[in-house]
Structure 1
Amino acid sequence: MAIDQHGDAVLEGVSIRSLPKVSLHDHLDGALRPETIIELAGEAGIEVPEEDPDDLADWFAEKSDSGSLVEYLKTFDLTTSVMQSREALTRVAREFVEDLAADGVIYGEVRWAPEQHLQGALTLDEAVEAVQEGIEEGEDAAAADGVDIRVGQLITAMRHTDRSPEIAKLAVRWRTRGAVGFDIAGPEDGFPPSRHRKAFDYLAAKFFPTTVHAGEAAGLDSIRSALIDGRALRLGHGVRLAEDLEIVSREGEEVFVQFGDLARWVRDREIPLELSPSSNLQTGAIARWGETMEDHPFDLLYQLGFAVTVNVDNRTMSATSLTRELALLASTFDYTLDDLEEFQLNAAAGAFLPVEEREELIELIGEGFAQ
């Protein structure tokens, strides 16, 4: 399958970009347009490593392809530095929604950490308000173009700081004004979800949903803590859950696998895995299995019945889109449109929406793929 310069490809005569999609794991500060970074940096007097948008895009992709989550995260120093004013946050959020709509996304959840955007004297609530304003502007712009899209905020706390209880309360304050869930992000190894048990206890008492980054830079203990301490309804990445699967034997194309208790729990409870194939390669999350897309345990998890979803993680750092990620998977594992539809249905079922709205989303996906 040929993937064009825009990341699109044709599968069974259908443009993948034209298909309705659900995006669950997409970071705001990892999704800036290079030209926007250059413009905002110029206004703020911030130096950029490249002045040309294409060259800056290449710089992000090169620096992010490090094999280390810690090194990967260093590229965010630049993006967050230009997102310190109300105007910048609103612009970035608006463009984020516009880019999702152009990618065929009909429902998305954008995760970002308000505590990282206070250098311009904004309060936490003012930062959230600025992002929400941008989201709504983006939704309105899409509607004017005849495109229906909805985007909710996943208010995120940084796992290596001590502000998670405060951020959890912030998320709950905004639950009827755009916030749909909570997350912790940042360096995973050495900063388990258990460090934020107070915040997760508060969120559980308020019946506020959580997704937790786990199983990316750290292994099974991190996933276990996300489920037990974080009460995670979804796993952010979760790719290293495959470490709890033992391939016992192979007979032709048939693989016999023994499940560990953790893997079986996640599979049987249909806890969605927010897999991000390109990002997982860049950060070394799949190093145990190899370094290419063919080595990614995505297909193993899918064939074993896990609720796999496909995500971009960070569009800028991975130079990708949801369309491109789906095209890469289809090309690598010979997936059909039925498979791609299954990934979207899994994501819709795991969305932090009321059940009636999830059912409506599922219907829209079914109709879109049927056409």
Structure 2
Amino acid sequence: MYIGEQIINPSADRLRLSTQLGVERVVLDTRPNTRLEGPDGHWDADKVAQYRRWIEGFGLGVECISLDLGSFLLDCVHEPERATARAAKMRADIRAASAGGLEMLKYNVQMVGITRTGRRRGRGGVLESAFRAVDYSPEGDRAHSYWGVGHPGGGARGADIAVNATGTTEALGQVMATDIPGLSEPQVWSALTRLVEEIVPTAEQVGLRLAGHPHDPAYPKGGLNGVEHVVGSIEGMERFLDLAPASAVHGINFCQGTVAEMATDPNPYVMDAIRRIGGRNRIFMVHFRNIKGGYCDFSECFPDEGDVDMAEAVRTYRAVGYSGILCPDHVPASDLDTARERFFAFALGYTRGLLQAV
């Protein structure tokens, strides 16, 4: 295993900092990926290769880039013709990614944003992104959820992330649940099935792995605002994998924080998930983060202070044969570190120390 960073539209200086922090490989999010597109709106293999070589020029390897689903999953239910057009673009982008020298793409199955209800004060007064189902309000959702490539606090001076708001290009088709007719469990599974059927065969043809991120957070039983989060449990992740059970390119972006959010007792649940998903060799990359709390009541904290034993997690990944990337993710916010560089540096150093110790 090795440390890596997930960076949004990095500058040259940000990449130099990554190398100075000991990062070996990076996960890149450039959505909506216009810098990779040709005149026809599809990714251009030469532009992908040029971007990859630019990153490699800093001494970094490219672990993967984010595939932009746009509103495909929503459109499968409510705008099927638009979903058909998007599917064609995703297949073309997968082919260009492979031709441009990439080995993996990641994607997120969120349709209504990564729901949060507010912030809580953490260590030294930092602000931790939080979800407490009983406190839910549309106003809190709109203000505090993660929208597309935006993060709560995005747009602050020096930040590397976009202004975080619905209705922007950066929201990438994610909408407020109150703005759509709803998404039942059968509808969501139908959309996910179509997604896998549309993109996995193309990825198999070109030998490129696809890492899907589970629903964040696990919603209360019966959903929230008429929307179900079906990939919000170990069983949901397993069912998602079983949509293409024999495919070696269909796997999970194992967000450890998201998995921890699925249980009232996160630590044993996370270890069980690592064993079950990792035992199938379907953990393709890891978001190595921690939370305080659990199912329907948690906040996102520094990795050393949450309810998941991070050292035990590293040992468990190793036990199932996982040898890939560990990326810090969703560190708290502070006016003392608006670009989050020091907080990510702390998380990277902590992760490096665990790898050396374990």
TM-score, normalized by length of structure 1? 0.48
More helix by share: 1
TM-score, normalized by length of structure 2? 0.50
